[in-house]
Amino acid sequence: MSDAQTDIRAYTLRLELVDEPGELLRSLRPIADNGGNLLSIFHERGNVTPRGHIPVEVDVEATPDRFERIIDGLRDAGINVVQAGTERYSEGLTVILSGHIIDTDLSDTLSRIQASSSATVTDFSLSAPEGTADVSSARIDIATERDATADVLDTLRAVAAEKDLRLVEPLTASASA
């Protein structure tokens, strides 16, 4: 047998669940159905993600092949997989958006970042000192796949330009002094 069939490893899954009865159980079904061995669950019911969902961290044991089937099964079931394994989102960046963030559909802005298969929003902070109809600013922490930072920044630049928002980008290793 190949290593992919016999090499059992521990993996961490970070999920976002809708706060409804049965959602945790529904998220565990693809793990069981695809041969994953549940090690632990950390269900943060008191916290919510920027999209209003409940963050859940699940540790499982599986072979690499089974783990890929688990991920596919979760996504097929409509479960938002924020992070899978240890290498999926290995780089982080923080950006600041300024302008009429709320009036230009904040939910759409975050969804477009999340729609990229190579990025996920890990933290979000909004400041609107004069109220929601005035200029506001947002700090957004984003986890990206290795070497995908440039693509994620391109997406952010396009969204900011379309919505007439100011984007403050992070300094990168390739930036010159």
Domain boundaries, the chain: 3-84, 91-168
Give the model's pLDDT for residue 160. 94
Residues with Cβ < 8 Å from 48, sequence gap 6 or more? 19, 54, 55
The values of phi and psi at residue 41, to 5°, are: -135, 130
List of the chain residues with pLDDT < 70: 1-6, 86-90, 116-118, 146, 171-177
Residues with Cβ < 8 Å from 13, sequence gap 6 or more? 31, 57, 58, 59, 60, 70, 71, 74, 81, 83, 84
Are 111 and 159 within 8 A, CB to CB?
no
Are 167 and 156 within 8 A, CB to CB?
yes
- 108 residue type, one letter: D
Residues with Cβ < 8 Å from 132, sequence gap 6 or more? 102, 103
Alpha helices by DSSP H, the chain:
3-6, 23-33, 64-76, 106-115, 149-162
Within this chain, domains 3-84 and 91-168 share the same CATH topology = yes
What is the assigned CATH class of domain 91-168?
alpha beta
CATH homologous superfamily, domain 3-84: ACT domain (3.30.70.260)
- Output the pTM of the full model: 0.52
Give the model's pLDDT for residue 176. 41
Using CA atoms, how far apart are residues 1 and 152, in angstroms rounded to an integer? 39
Angle between helices 23-33 and 64-76 (to 10 degrees): 140
